[in-house]
A and B are shown apart, each in its own frame.
Chain A
């Protein structure tokens, strides 16, 4: 059975239907890249997976937990998320940002949480930045702290919502390298992204969304080389 199972999900904001019956299955260890124009519903879909948005019809299960029926806290302990705007807690240091949820939510001892946080910051290449405040870090560094913060809860699946879109071009790669490393370690990732090359090289599954539907999906390399629909063909050439 797939790890994340999305079945015929429909969602509307008032009269505007943004998801018109989306079905996707994502297996354990998959790196699923969701691409598409803005307004195609890709971010909304991602936010439905951890209950940041409600949906009107259909079903989503994550590791057997039905979204909307499972207690939100239980669900979210298994689903990590990284945001476009980082959303670090500005009043806490990088280390404290990573330590907060393990101590508060998972009731981990301070010392243990500190060691875990230090280890995670080292993993994302920020070993010396434990005591730095977010405002003292570059965008790329902040986003890597945000990744470490999400990993601290040992999620089963990590959602990444356009995590390089707010970064200066020269900072994009340092963040993508971290994601790539996670992928190579077998972490299940669902990324909404505009980084086509990354989607092709690292992704195991490509989902092209268009007007609230999955327009095409398949293996990234095949799809990029051989788009089956004019919309994807146009999108791919337009993006390069």
Chain B
């Protein structure tokens, strides 16, 4: 996988999205809203590159996300690599690769990773109503934004791959 430098192109695209999301969340801080669309980092490689190349990009991206977080380093690295493998496996077995199916898979991956992260990290807040209200509302806004940002991000990653002369094809129809 190291010999295939496509992961570098994917990583560059992911870093751009991480920076954009940090700016958006920084601006939304006063409203106590946090947008979470990290499933894009693990779903786009499934569409564009082989498993091991995608896994490398997922691992490094999640390490970058974990670096400035207050929870233990590696929490999202382990979770993302697991979810990436599961979704790669599911994707291989999907007969139809239409946009709708891909979007459904992406939305479910985002909801699952967000919920799992919330449950793992905040175990002392299960009995708190505000905790669940906060999670549901943040998830709602994140899923809506995901609908709009996915097409742009997929195009960005595809352009970056072509820009670095890595001929890549969508696996979707």
Decide if A and B are genuine partners: no
Query: A residues engaging B (CB < 8 A)?
Result: none
